[in-house]
Amino acid sequence: MIRRAGRYAWASPYTALGLAVGLVALATGGRVRRLDGVLEFSGGFAKWVVRRLPTGKNTAAFTLGHTVLGQTIDSLDFAHTHELVHVRQFERWGPLMGPAYLGASVWVWLRGGRAYRDNPFEVEAYRIAP
């Protein structure tokens, strides 16, 4: 129980950002559900944000701490297992997750790889949930 609380606290800066986006999503026609200890928002402002990520307008979902932002409920269903891997990564890396993820993308890109698909955080997520 204490370990679980610690994981939520460690990831909480990103969860707070996800909740802020999620609250705006709810005020703009979006929905929320709780699944596997994660709040998943879809539609409204959440969809607007996800469609503007550097990964493109077909991106299904995006994880911030213990929140997931998705375009639709179907896209949340599609991406759920993959995004849960990212939730576990936020639990491990906490406040360092953003710099670590972006730094890994830059490092991979500088070495001639693909900034998104060759990023080790994505490699782990796609290995578990293709």
Q: Given the rule CB under 5 A, which residues bind Zn ion?
A: 122, 125
Is beta strand 38-42 parallel, antiparallel or unpaired with respect to 67-70?
parallel
Q: How far is the CB of 1 from Zn ion (least distance, A)?
A: 29
Of residues 5 and 58, the one with the C-beta less far from Zn ion: 58
Of residues 40 and 122, the one with the C-beta less far from Zn ion: 122
Of residues 7 and 122, the one with the C-beta less far from Zn ion: 122
Q: How far is the CB of 69 from Zn ion (least distance, A)?
A: 12
Q: How far is the CB of 117 from Zn ion (least distance, A)?
A: 9
Of residues 55 and 72, the one with the C-beta less far from Zn ion: 55
Q: How far is the CB of 55 from Zn ion (least distance, A)?
A: 8
Residues 90 and 38: beta-carbon distance below 8 Å: no
Residues 41 and 29: beta-carbon distance below 8 Å: no
The tokens for 113 are: 């790889």
**DSSP code string of 47-89:** HHHHHTSTT-TT--EEEETTEEEESSHHHHHHHHHHHHHHHHH
Residues 8 and 15: beta-carbon distance below 8 Å: yes
